[in-house]
Amino acid sequence: MDRIDQKILDLLQGDATLPIAEVAEQVGLSTAPCWRRIKKLEDDGVIQRRVALVDRRKVNVPMTLFVSVRTTRHALEWVDDFRRMIADIPEIVEVWRLTGDVDYLLRIVVPDIDAYDAVYKRMIDRVELADVSSAIAMEELKYTTAVPTGYIAKTRG
């Protein structure tokens, strides 16, 4: 990847609906070579998929909670059950396995605390958890799906 690929990625991360002709113009290519670069980025898995980002407030899930989970079980069977549980609960939108005192960090979006309580009950009904600690986000200061592209190794001219 080179600086042109980086520019393409930056543009598409900002708006994946940009016409190829516009992307090509902004990166200094004609349409066909630009399309080939985008296709290669997709084929190589750099661009994983293109999605619509939904305003969670407009679809009535304005509350974000960060839920720290600790477990005393680390058997593969438990992990498989945990993975199935998080896949089955759409309110759980992100899950990270961590080092340190907390085993997993979940980001959950819901309409209100009652909805979170229902999610919590579905979770503990499905898997054994040693400790669950929830924090309600008060204000979103920054949210982006774009990753920095400044670290891309320059391998082409």
Q: Does 72 lie in the same domain as 121? A: yes
The CATH number assigned to the domain holding 77 equals: 3.30.70.920
Region at 107 (left for phi over 0; alpha for psi -120 to 50; beta for the rest):
beta
Q: Does 30 lie in the same domain as 81? A: no
Torsion of CA 26, 32, 36, 39, to 10 degrees: 80
* 55-102 residue pLDDT tens: 999 999 999 999 999 999 889 999 999 999 999 999 999 999 999 999
Output the pTM of the full model.
0.88
51 located within any domain: no
101 located within any domain: yes
* 17-64 residue pLDDT tens: 999 999 999 999 999 999 999 999 999 999 999 999 999 999 999 999
Q: Does 76 lie in the same domain as 38? A: no
How many CB atoms are closer than 10 A to CB 122?
14
Q: Does 87 lie in the same domain as 34? A: no
The CATH number assigned to the domain holding 13 equals: 1.10.10.10
* Count: domains in the chain: 2
